[in-house]
């Protein structure tokens, strides 16, 4: 929306124009980019967009969109607005992309793949840009609906290989989703430029004292310099925030209009679409058609192919200044003018704004709109519709039901604090146990999202409420509380409370289940608990708690079970499109690859998980990354990641930091640090992390001379291993026993067990420990055999610190280890590793792009960089490189 004529508005904007010109020049060459213009209202952001549109029009296709203060509830509204001019290219897209956008824009029924919306938009804009470079201008980005904001952020980070430039304009406050993008702050004009701009305003004559006061109050804000003289003439209003003063100026100009013109402007301000046909239909309903000339003469609005206000503040000023009944009348007229078949959600929204008291018909319409919005992936829109529906509901039971639904949708939209406020508004005293439990469950989920330690206790409380009315659901809550405790807090305290409650819960209808097995593990230890766990995990009941199942598979040292759960997670996630399941599956695939010593595959899978996380606006999973850097033995890289994980998480993630640190320091032969880290991990008491850390603790304690700690850790490890009974567990216990007792037969037993069924790094480390013991015993020739095997295996997997440890031991026997061959993944980033592996397996750029949520042109650009780093020139040569099979 134009703020003011460009001839005067560009005073003092040379630097800003230079930055924008550089952006579009690069985009014209195919090096796409984006920029966010930040600044206070009236500072000239919209005018800079207008200038950019004018200067780029000959070389670029220019498409525009604008956020609306009153349209934030409508999913994909701004994205649809931006894409509308290029929708003729929609039919040329692949079916998944085409269908996703049609559903998102309300052009077809169905549920769009949330992963595909951003990529489909990129494909659509890239198709348009193939004909002519594309300039996308998005004004008032701080008011974009959540779904559009997420899609556009995704898009903005992926246009570097496209002839596309995107410029956002947003206020300083809000729109935190823009913070990660390159930003240019648009400040106030300097004194000389401010005076020059004020001098160009010929409509008002000011004496020097009034001019000085206007200059002082405007603080270099261009719109204020133009509007404040109109607001006050020789007596400007007393100082107040610039935005408020400008808005008051618009309100004063509005108040001076004839009554019909003022009513027409209020009607226009109540419609977020700017659709002239809708406006004039509603205007006829109110008898306001004849007022258009006077309204347009005010300079506040322009009626053309789209209804435009001279500035967003002019629109909000008109709306806020209107009497409540006049606003409601405007919304009633707009509701009548809106087609219920093509725009049922806008119609319901207008009807809701026109309603003052409870109205079940309108509430039901809003509930239907929420269902449609949720089906299109607009959870923020669904939350807003449901919240308004609850406010218009008179029946207490229905109101509670709708408020709970609104809170659930609000939480799904990522607004945990707002969800908590909605839940706090519910009077829980008259609720039956089932509904009360639903409130407790949601409160627990809110606490989980916000990282509060009380989350498991809230889920536990829900289970206790359900114990008599829905025993099966109560048992599920108890298991969920345990699973949640692993993530948000130390498990031990909550575990005891949950299991105490579970002991008194009604028995499972189908016989002993996972909860019973966990209770038995708690009371009878591994010898009684492990067999029960195995029985509980043989069916498919674990599929309801797959995250916990991966932990329990580790607790049982059962690689086969872990592989089954991981395979199910990865397959189910891709089939259902569930982002949580997909990411959990990929994280576990990566973790399994790290533990198996397949670091190249681990890096590739982590890149795919990170791409999905980025598409959702979330940070990538850290747990497998912690163990990757620890296994590689890169101290500083690991410490940086440990610090990030400790700052971000609690519970299992922090325990994971301690376990990973123990591995890192044992590899670096920094045994005191390893002893401290492993001791912390074991003290945490979490499932699996404690068991895995026990082996690290034994090694570090022996090297540090902490023999009592070593014997205690060995006893605990031995009990777990014998109860688990897997060759993997028995091999790890034998290796620990050998360290504590200097027993050669145990060193040999460890290697024998681990050769049959164990991750490759553990077998290599068993050779290393045995070789170290043989060298200390003076048996250099025997030591060389095992140290050589350890070095070859460890260096072959890229476990650098452990390989260096083996090399030092070999030198001590009089043999020099061969230099470690450089791995392909040593020269590539995680994302590049994923691309290289996929292409080596025969995938096309288009197929790889779909996995990483990038454009094919971006994949080709990455491939050129990969070829350069690896010293090759073709895709075919990738297939012959190591680490890519």
pLDDT of 5 > 60? The answer is no
- Does residue 662 fall inside a structural domain? yes
SS3 309: strand
Stretch 752-773: mean pLDDT: 94
SS3 29: coil
pLDDT of 380 > 50? The answer is yes
pLDDT digits (tens, 9 = 90+) for 555-603: 999 999 999 998 898 888 777 666 777 888 899 999 999 999 999 999 9
CB 735 within 8 A of CB 695: yes
The predicted structure's pLDDT at residue 599: 93
Kindly report the pTM of this predicted structure.
0.75
SS3 57: coil
Task: Identify the CA nearest to 503 among candidates 540, 482, 478.
Answer: 478
Same-domain pairing of 103 and 227:
no
34: β partners: 166
Same-domain pairing of 120 and 212:
no
C-alpha dist (Å) from residue 122 to 94, 614, 657, 844, 854: 12, 15, 37, 18, 8
* Pairwise CA distance, residues 537 & 543, whole Å: 9
Same-domain pairing of 742 and 761:
yes
Q: Which of 251, 270, 292 is the last residue of a domain?
A: 251
Question: Structural domain of residue 861, as residue ranges?
Answer: 831-878
* Residue 511 neighbours by CB distance under 10 Å: 8
Cα 319–Cα 325–Cα 330 angle in degrees, nearest 5: 55
Same-domain pairing of 24 and 147:
yes
- Does residue 589 fall inside a structural domain? no
The predicted structure's pLDDT at residue 7: 39
* Pairwise CA distance, residues 874 & 879, whole Å: 10
Confidence at 700, pLDDT banded by 50, 70, 90: very high
pLDDT of 617 > 50? The answer is yes
- Does residue 299 fall inside a structural domain? yes
- Does residue 485 fall inside a structural domain? yes
Cβ neighbours for 558, distance < 8 A, ≥ 6 positions apart: 534, 724, 726
CB 58 within 8 A of CB 206: no
pLDDT of 734 > 60? The answer is yes
The predicted structure's pLDDT at residue 232: 45
The predicted structure's pLDDT at residue 229: 67
Q: What are phi and psi of 185, to 5 degrees?
A: -80, 125
Same-domain pairing of 716 and 793:
no
- Does residue 217 fall inside a structural domain? yes
% of the chain exceeding 70 in pLDDT? 90
Confidence at 263, pLDDT banded by 50, 70, 90: very high
* Pairwise CA distance, residues 334 & 201, whole Å: 37
Q: Which of 724, 754, 783 is the last residue of a domain?
A: 724
Same-domain pairing of 82 and 34:
yes
Residue whose token pair is 């229905």: 398
The predicted structure's pLDDT at residue 800: 93
pLDDT of 6 > 50? The answer is no
The predicted structure's pLDDT at residue 378: 65
Same-domain pairing of 661 and 709:
yes
How buried is residue 698: exposed, middle or buried, by Cβ count under 10 Å (0-12/13-18/19+)?
Answer: buried
Q: Could you give the number of structural domains in the chain?
A: 8
- Looking at 389-463, which runs of residues are DSSP E strands? none
Same-domain pairing of 720 and 734:
no
Q: Which of 511, 536, 559 is the last residue of a domain?
A: 511
pLDDT of 751 > 90? The answer is yes
Stretch 605-616: mean pLDDT: 86
The predicted structure's pLDDT at residue 66: 87
The predicted structure's pLDDT at residue 240: 45
- Does residue 552 fall inside a structural domain? no
SS3 128: helix
| Most confident listed range (174-178, 230-234, 355-359) | 355-359
* Pairwise CA distance, residues 832 & 846, whole Å: 15
pLDDT of 167 > 60? The answer is yes
pLDDT digits (tens, 9 = 90+) for 653-691: 778 899 999 999 999 999 999 999 999 988 866 655 667
Long-range contacts of 838-844 (CB under 8 A, 24+ apart): 838/604, 839/863, 839/875, 839/878, 840/875, 840/878, 840/879, 840/881, 840/884, 840/885
- Does residue 713 fall inside a structural domain? yes
CATH number of residue 107's parent domain: 3.40.50.300
* Pairwise CA distance, residues 299 & 226, whole Å: 13
The predicted structure's pLDDT at residue 184: 93
Confidence at 357, pLDDT banded by 50, 70, 90: confident
pLDDT of 150 > 60? The answer is yes
Same-domain pairing of 25 and 149:
yes
Residue of higher predicted confidence among 450 and 52: 52
Same-domain pairing of 132 and 28:
yes
The predicted structure's pLDDT at residue 795: 93
Residue of higher predicted confidence among 685 and 321: 321
Task: Identify the CA nearest to 259 among candidates 293, 299, 211, 291.
Answer: 291
Same-domain pairing of 111 and 33:
yes
* Pairwise CA distance, residues 658 & 789, whole Å: 29
Scored b (16 or more CB within 10 A) or e, 603-620 reads: bbbbbbbbbbbbbbeeeb
Rounded mean pLDDT of the chain? 85
Stretch 758-787: mean pLDDT: 95
What single DSSP character describes residue 109? Answer: -
Residue of higher predicted confidence among 446 and 604: 604
pLDDT of 234 > 50? The answer is no
* Pairwise CA distance, residues 343 & 429, whole Å: 40
Same-domain pairing of 175 and 294:
no
* Residue 564 neighbours by CB distance under 10 Å: 15
| Most confident listed range (53-67, 365-379, 536-550) | 53-67
Confidence at 456, pLDDT banded by 50, 70, 90: confident
- Does residue 541 fall inside a structural domain? no
Instruction: Return the minimum-mean-pLDDT range out of 108-112, 149-153, 349-353, 839-843.
Output: 108-112
Torsion of CA 745, 747, 749, 754, to 10 degrees: -170
What single DSSP character describes residue 22? Answer: H
The predicted structure's pLDDT at residue 219: 76
Confidence at 533, pLDDT banded by 50, 70, 90: very high
Numbers of helices and strands, H then E, in the chain? 45, 7
């Amino acid at each position: 929306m134009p703020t003011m004529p460009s001839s005067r508005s560009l005073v003092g904007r040379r630097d800003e124009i230079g930055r924008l010109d550089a952006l579009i020049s690069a985009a014209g060459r195919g090096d796409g980019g984006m920029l966010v213009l930040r600044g206070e209202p009236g500072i000239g952001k919209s005018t800079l967009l207008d200038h950019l549109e004018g200067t780029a029009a000959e070389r670029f296709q220019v498409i525009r969109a604008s956020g609306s203060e009153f349209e934030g509830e409508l999913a994909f509204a701004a994205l649809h607005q931006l894409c509308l001019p290029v929708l003729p290219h929609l039919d040329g897209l692949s079916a998944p992309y085409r269908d996703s956008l049609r559903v998102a824009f309300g052009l077809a029924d169905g549920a769009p793949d949330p992963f595909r919306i951003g990529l489909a938009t990129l494909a659509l804009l890239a198709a348009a840009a193939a004909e002519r470079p594309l300039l996308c201008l998005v004004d008032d980005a701080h008011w974009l609906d959540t779904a559009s904001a997420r899609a556009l952020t995704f898009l903005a980070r992926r246009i570097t290989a496209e002839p596309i430039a995107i410029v956002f304009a947003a206020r300083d406050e809000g729109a935190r989703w823009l913070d990660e993008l390159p930003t240019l702050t648009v400040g106030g004009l300097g004194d000389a430029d401010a005076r020059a701009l004020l001098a160009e305003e010929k409509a008002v004559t000011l004496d020097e004292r009034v001019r000085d006061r206007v200059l002082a109050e405007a603080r270099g804000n261009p719109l204020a310099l133009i509007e404040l003289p109109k607001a006050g003439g020789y007596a400007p209003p007393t100082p107040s925030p610039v935005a408020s003063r400008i808005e008051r100026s618009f309100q004063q100009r509005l108040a001076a209009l004839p009554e019909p013109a003022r009513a027409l402007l209020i009607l226009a301000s109540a419609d977020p679409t700017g659709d002239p046909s809708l406006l004039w239909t509603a205007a006829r309903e109110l008898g306001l058609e004849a007022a258009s000339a006077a309204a347009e003469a005010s300079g506040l609005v322009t009626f053309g192919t789209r209804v435009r206000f001279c500035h967003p503040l002019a629109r909000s000023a008109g709306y806020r200044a209107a009497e409540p009944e006049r606003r409601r009348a405007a919304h009633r007229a707009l509701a009548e003018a809106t087609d219920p078949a093509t725009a049922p959600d806008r119609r319901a929204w207008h009807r809701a704004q026109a309603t003052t008291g409870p109205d079940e018909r309108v509430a039901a319409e809003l509930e239907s709109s929420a269902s449609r919005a949720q089906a299109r992936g607009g959870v923020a829109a669904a939350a807003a519709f449901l919240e308004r529906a609850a406010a218009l509901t008179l029946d207490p039971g229905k109101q509670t039901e709708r408020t709970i639904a609104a809170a659930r949708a609000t939480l799904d939209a990522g607004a945990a604090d707002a969800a908590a406020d909605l839940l706090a508004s519910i009077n829980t005293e008259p609720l039956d146990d089932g509904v009360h439990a639903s409130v407790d469950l949601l409160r627990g989920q809110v606490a989980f999202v916000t990282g509060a330690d009380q989350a498991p206790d809230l889920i536990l409380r829900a289970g206790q409420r359900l114990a008599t009315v829905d025993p099966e659901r109560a048992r599920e809550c108890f298991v969920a509380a345990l699973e949640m405790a692993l993530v948000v807090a130390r498990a031990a305290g909550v575990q005891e409370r949950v299991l105490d409650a579970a002991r008194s819960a009604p028995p499972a209808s189908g016989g002993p289940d996972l909860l019973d097995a966990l209770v038995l593990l708690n009371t009878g230890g591994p010898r009684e608990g492990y067999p029960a766990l195995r029985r509980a995990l043989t069916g498919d009941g674990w599929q309801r708690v797959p995250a916990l199942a991966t932990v329990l598979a580790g607790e049982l040292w059962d690689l086969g079970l872990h592989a089954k759960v991981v395979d199910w997670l990865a397959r189910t996630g891709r089939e259902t499109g569930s982002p949580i399941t997909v990411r959990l599956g990929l994280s576990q695939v990566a973790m399994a690859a790290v533990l198996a010593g397949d670091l190249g595959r681990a890096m590739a899978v982590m890149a795919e998980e990170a791409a999905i996380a980025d598409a959702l606006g979330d940070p990538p999973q850290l747990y497998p990354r912690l163990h990757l850097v620890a296994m590689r033995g890169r101290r500083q890289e690991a410490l940086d990641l440990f610090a990030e994980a400790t700052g971000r998480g609690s519970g299992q993630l922090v325990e994971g930091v301690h376990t990973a640190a123990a591995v890192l320091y044992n590899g670096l032969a920094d045994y005191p640090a390893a002893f401290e880290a492993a001791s912390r991990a074991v003290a945490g008491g979490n499932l699996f992390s404690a068991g895995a850390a026990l082996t690290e603790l034994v090694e570090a304690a022996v090297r540090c001379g902490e023999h009592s700690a070593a014997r205690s850790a060995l006893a605990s490890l031995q009990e777990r291993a014998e109860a688990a009974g897997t060759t993997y567990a028995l091999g790890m216990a034998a290796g620990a026993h050998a360290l504590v007792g200097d027993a050669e037969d145990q060193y040999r037993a460890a290697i024998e067990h681990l050769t049959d069924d164990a991750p490759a790094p553990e077998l290599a480390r068993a050779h290393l420990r045995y070789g170290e013991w043989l060298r200390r015993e003076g048996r250099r020739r025997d030591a060389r055999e095992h140290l050589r095997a350890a070095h070859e295996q460890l260096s072959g997997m890229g476990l650098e610190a452990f390989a260096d440890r083996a090399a030092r031991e070999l030198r001590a026997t009089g043999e020099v280890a061969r230099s470690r061959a450089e791995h392909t993944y040593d020269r590539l980033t995680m994302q590049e590793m994923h691309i290289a592996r996929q292409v080596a397996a025969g995938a096309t750029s288009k197929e790889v792009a779909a996995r990483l949520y990038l454009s094919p042109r971006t994949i080709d650009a990455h491939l050129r960089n990969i070829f350069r780093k690896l010293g090759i020139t073709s895709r075919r040569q990738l297939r012959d490189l190591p680490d890519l099979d």
